[in-house]
């Protein structure tokens, strides 16, 4: 267990439980190209992740999406996202539960129109108006 100790008087120590989850990006991640500068992506990242989650809540009601990694080139950002099926493991009470990731195949079905990477209408709503989606890849 990690331990934290302060230098105050009297000294106080605390312990914590840390959960580390791993995933196979080839089975869970989808990379989306946005027409956006890196600074714009950083400013809108939380809103983008929320908007992505909202597109799949019809199937995964308490899902959440996050950014695994991103790269920026001139006026485009390629961000690789993953989504967790539910929030059951977000609290300490869910520590013993398996974290279920949304399969990449589902994300591609919802977000990619064809193998050329054309985004579906789900990614062309007002929620994405300031972060235009150019391409979706597995």
Within-domain flag for 71: yes
User: Taking 80 as the threshold, does the pLDDT of residue 6 lie above it?
Assistant: yes
From residue 10, alpha-carbon distances to 1, 65, 78, 116 in Å are 22, 42, 50, 63
* pLDDT, average across residues 100-118: 97
Q: Looking up tokens 């064809």, which residue turns up? A: 114
Number of domains in the chain: 1
- Cα dihedral 122/128/129/132 (nearest 10): -90
For the cut 70, the answer to whether the pLDDT of residue 8 exceeds it is: yes
Q: What is the mean pLDDT of residues 110-122?
A: 97
pTM of the predicted structure, to 2 decimals: 0.87
- Averaged pLDDT score across all residues of the chain: 94
- Is the confidence at residue 14, as pLDDT, over 70? yes
Q: Tell me the mean pLDDT in the region 103-114.
A: 98
pLDDT in tens, 21-75: 999 999 999 999 999 999 999 999 999 999 999 999 999 999 999 999 999 999 9
Higher pLDDT, 19 or 44: 44
Residue 1 has a pLDDT of 63
Q: Is 15 part of any domain?
A: no
Measuring CA to CA, how many Å separate 30 from each of 15, 26, 27, 68, 118? Answer: 36, 8, 9, 9, 13
Q: For a pLDDT cut of 90, what percent of the chain falls above it?
A: 82
Query: Residue 5: what pLDDT?
Result: 78
| Residue 75 structural domain | 21-137
Write the CATH number for 92: 3.30.70
Please check whether residue 108 lies inside any domain of the structure.
yes
State how far the alpha carbon of 65 is from the alpha carbons of 23, 28, 86, 103, in Å.
14, 11, 10, 12
Residue 9 included in any domain: no
pLDDT at 3: 76
Query: Which tokens in the block code for residue 68?
Result: 């695994």
């Amino acid at each position: 267990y990690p331990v934290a100790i302060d230098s105050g008087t009297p000294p106080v120590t605390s312990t914590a439980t840390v959960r580390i989850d791993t995933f196979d990006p080839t089975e869970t991640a989808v990379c989306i190209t946005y027409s956006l500068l890196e600074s714009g992506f950083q400013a809108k990242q939380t809103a983008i992740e929320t908007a992505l989650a909202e597109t799949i809540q019809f199937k995964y009601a308490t899902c959440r999406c996050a950014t695994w990694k991103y790269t920026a080139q001139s006026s485009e950002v390629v961000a690789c996202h993953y989504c967790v099926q539910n929030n059951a493991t977000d609290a300490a009470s869910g520590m013993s539960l398996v974290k279920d990731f949304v399969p990449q195949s589902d994300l591609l079905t919802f977000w990619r129109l064809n193998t050329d990477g054309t985004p579906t209408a789900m990614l062309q709503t007002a929620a994405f108006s300031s972060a235009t989606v150019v391409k979706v890849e597995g």
